[in-house]
Amino acid sequence: MPFVPLANPTQPDCGDPTGTITISSPIGPDLLYSIDGVSYTNTDGIFTGLTAGTYTVTVKNNISGCISNFTSVIINSPPVFPIVPTATPTQLTCTIDKGSITVTSPLGSQYEYNLGSGFQAGVTFIDLEPGTYNVQVKEIGNECISTSADIIILPQPITPFKPAANITQPTCSVGTGTITVSDPLGADLRYSIDGVDYSNVTGIFGGLNPGNYNVTVRNIINGCTSTSLTVIINPQPIKPATPVIQISQPVCPRTTGVITVLSPKEPGLIYNIDGTMFFSSNMTGVFDEVIGGTYTINVNSPTGSCASDHTTATIMTPNCAGFDSPCEKYCIRIQKVLLPWRASIFPNNSN
């Protein structure tokens, strides 16, 4: 009769949920092996694919029919795999360029968690770049690792860049301004001049009172808002008063006159004279050498954008035919002392 067999169990593990019993003694060509005391068909003493339980190992001599005493071998239950974890990602935002993942199940001090760079006790992984992460969990002391849960960190949403805008300032006749956003433009963009109301789809804001406006652009798909462009709408320019003028008519032999604007006289004003054959502008309001004719005089604001109503001035054309011949007994001396011109007669010493 064979002696009591020696048998070694290989317990289930994370990779194989079944066990193995290997009989190491006795070994021989005439021996048959059993783990249930009934079936003696095994000739090599190796039993695989065994579920958890207690097995009775015996050896039978195929020649004599004698059977050994039994040896009990226990195959343990396979280790338990943790459930597939669940996790919540915190996505990148318009202003935050790193994401995070927080495991929400299973939870407990007996678990460790991994994204691929090593297991940790904490359930949160921070500073994550966009990409797909494989979340795993295992119990401490148990090397069985759960099936991975794939969690995606999306790319950072694109923020519109700082807008560019054209400004139409108030004029003499229009007391409000206009802001027109020229860039960026797009169907998914909305525009604001106060950082609150993003209902504008064109980027054109009209009827604006003087003041400071902060122009921003928002992408309505991802909610990202650009940095602001500060735009100033100036006060409406003041229309200068209708000019009051003084006219110095020509006195022969001088054939040109002088037109002087007496008011308004604020600094920076621009004075204009316009006639059929003559146009000029200056900042003094004095126009001399003006030939005979009718002229309009007006005053522009310092920016030139706002003109007063005009005043009409007429310079007479004197008949100075008698002054064309050489002096005989007397000559006329023209002295420009103060406006108007003054003439004085003195003897002609050349005779």
> Given this model, what pLDDT does residue 324 score?
54
> Given this model, what pLDDT does residue 333 score?
44
- Residue 245: which of 255, 259, 231 has the closest Cα? 259
- The answer to whether the beta carbons of residues 276 and 241 sit under 8 Å apart is no
> Given this model, what pLDDT does residue 15 score?
86
316-324 LR contacts (CB < 8 Å, sep 24+):
316/249, 316/250, 316/257, 316/292, 317/250, 317/255, 317/291, 317/292, 317/293, 318/249, 318/250, 318/251, 318/252, 318/255, 318/292, 319/252, 320/252, 320/253, 320/255, 322/252, 323/252, 323/253
- Find residue 120's DSSP bridge partners: 113
Mean pLDDT for all residues in the chain: 89
Question: Residue 209 and residue 229: Cα distance in Å, rounded?
Answer: 17
Helix (H/G/I), strand (E/B), else coil: 321: helix
> Given this model, what pLDDT does residue 347 score?
42
Peptide bond just before 106 cis, omega within 30 deg: yes
Burial class (CB in 10 A: 0-12, 13-18, 19+), 247: middle
Rounded to the nearest angstrom, the gap between the alpha carbon of residue 336 and the centroid of all alpha carbons in its chain is 69
Indicate if 237-351 has the same CATH topology as 86-153: yes
Q: What would the two tokens of residue 157 be?
A: 């949403």
Those residues whose C-beta lies under 8 Å from the C-beta of residue 250, and which sit 6 or more positions away, are: 256, 257, 292, 315, 316, 317, 318, 341
Per-residue pLDDT reduced to its tens digit, 14-26: 889 999 999 999 9
Peptide bond just before 264 cis, omega within 30 deg: yes
> Given this model, what pLDDT does residue 276 score?
52
- pLDDT < 70 positions in the chain: 1, 275-279, 323-351
Q: How do the domains of the chain map onto residue ranges?
A: 6-75, 86-153, 164-233, 237-351
CATH fold of the domain at 6-75: Immunoglobulin-like (2.60.40)
CATH fold of the domain at 86-153: Immunoglobulin-like (2.60.40)
Rounded to the nearest angstrom, the gap between the alpha carbon of residue 178 and the centroid of all alpha carbons in its chain is 23
Helix (H/G/I), strand (E/B), else coil: 88: strand
> Within 10 A of 132 (CB to CB), how many other CB atoms are there?
8
Instruction: Please say whether the structural domain 237-351 has been given the CATH code 2.60.40.10.
Output: yes
- Residue 213: which of 179, 236, 166 has the closest Cα? 179
Q: pTM (2 decimals)?
A: 0.63
Per-residue pLDDT reduced to its tens digit, 161-210: 999 999 999 988 899 999 999 999 999 999 999 999 999 999 999 999 99
Q: What would the two tokens of residue 222 be?
A: 């991802």
